[in-house]
Amino acid sequence: RGTKKVDGLFARASFGFYNMFYLDGSIRTDRSSALWSGSQNRYWYPSVSGSFVFSELLKGSFINFGKVRANYAQVGNDTDMFNLYNVYTLNAPFNGIGSAINPDQFKNQFLRPENMTEYEVGLEMAMFKNRVTFDVSYYNRKTTDLITPVDGSSSSGASSVFMNAGDMVNEGIEVSLNVVPFKSEDFSWRLGFNFARNRNKVTKLSEDVHYLQLASLQGGISIGAQLGEAYGVIRGTGFVYDDNGNKVVGDNGQYLASATTTKIGNMNPDWTGGVKNTVSYKNLSLSFLIDFQKGGDVFSLDTFYGYATGLYDNFTTGLNDLGNPVRNTLANGGGVILPGVKQDGTPNDIRVDASNGNGQGNPWGYLSGTSPRQAHVYDASYVKLRNVTLTYDLPQKFLDNTFIKKLSLSAVGRNLWIIHKNVPFSDPEAGLSSGNIQGYQSGAHPTIREIGASLKVQF
């Protein structure tokens, strides 16, 4: 048990001119007991933001509101307590003799505070009597001196050591658009769109480290930060390709695997978005939200084992190119020819036995230790019907002379339909962890569809 203390000072100032120009600034400094004393344990949070409401110059036009903004900020961060000094772990006495062991994770008294610097520019507008509104922004965020455990040689006496492990950059755009295509006294139709795109890059790692492993996972893959790549790459053995991009098979007809581990995926999506539709007639409204994601990768331990043991239908059912059941022996016309080329560059014509779902008997050789782990990395794109809500507002005449101002009854459905996905047998969002370790599935549970009701009362 222990206590971490942080104290700080904060100042802020705001200015506005002619209802058009606004300027805000702040500065904060914190001092943390979890960092080395002196200059090492103090970090700063300066920020400044400015905006110009240009619609004040355009009164009477179709532009109801318009603003450009720019922001800059720095944020510091310390670490958890007890990460500075190595201490022995005391064992329970045995026969009256005490003992202690070294920690399995070395601490670091020279840790510096993390720092994040970000700037953002944006545009907000409302037009045509607020029937069209949008907000678009661009941001650039740089994180330096990231504090995290770094794997080390076990000969040092510990498996990892706390370090200021590196720097990374995030930049992207975010867009939201709301449109009211039709509106009358009794009927209205509202559309909302949102879009987000982020690009992440690890720009520096400590000392001679080129790959910072965050997790080593079952199935022979790892997830980590690779210099020059995005934070959250998936590494493992990959397919072997020829110069024309064809997969190469070995003498046994199974796909060759790369001799060393390499980048085989990236857990970060290319972009995400959503569309919300709301239709209202008098006191009744119906809304639905569709979410979508493009890109991002996920490794499935479920198919890694499932394909190898015949649990799924991959090479366990159906007919082959000869018109025979694939599970027949080779002597009886079974087996499959995997798409690709042989090592001499000619089209693959080696038929692989598929009569046994285990080990080398499986066409992919999943449990033989030779299969490319890349075979189980899938595109995590999806389109989902995320939410449907039907709401009825009780007419106001029934609430007159009561203490209730508004009463609404809703029927709500969530995660009703996966309209499109590329990951087989599971939800692309089903993962082993909700923290930094993304892009990995193991024993993925079926997606839960929720249907319920709600009552909201305003007083």
**Which residue stretches of the chain have pLDDT < 50?**
358-361, 366-368
The one-letter amino acid at 242 = D
Over the stretch 126-173, which tens digit does the pLDDT of each residue have?
999 999 999 999 999 999 988 887 776 667 777 778 888 889 999 999
Question: Coil, strand or helix: which one is 156?
Answer: helix
Q: What integer pLDDT is reported at residue 101 of this predicted model? A: 84
List the structure tokens of 86: 């190595």
- State how far the Cα of 166 lies from the Cα of 161, in Å rounded to an integer: 14
Q: How far apart are the C-alpha atoms of 459 and 455, rounded to whole Å?
A: 13
Q: Where are the beta strands (DSSP E) in 184-310?
A: 187-205, 211-217, 221-226, 231-236, 262-266, 271-281, 284-294, 297-300
CB–CB of 108/65 below 8 Å?
A: no
Counting beta carbons within 10 angstroms of the beta carbon of residue 316, is it exposed (0 to 12), middle (13 to 18) or buried (19 or more)? Answer: middle
Task: Please state, in angstroms and rounded to a whole number, the distance separating the CA atoms of residues 304 and 442.
Answer: 10
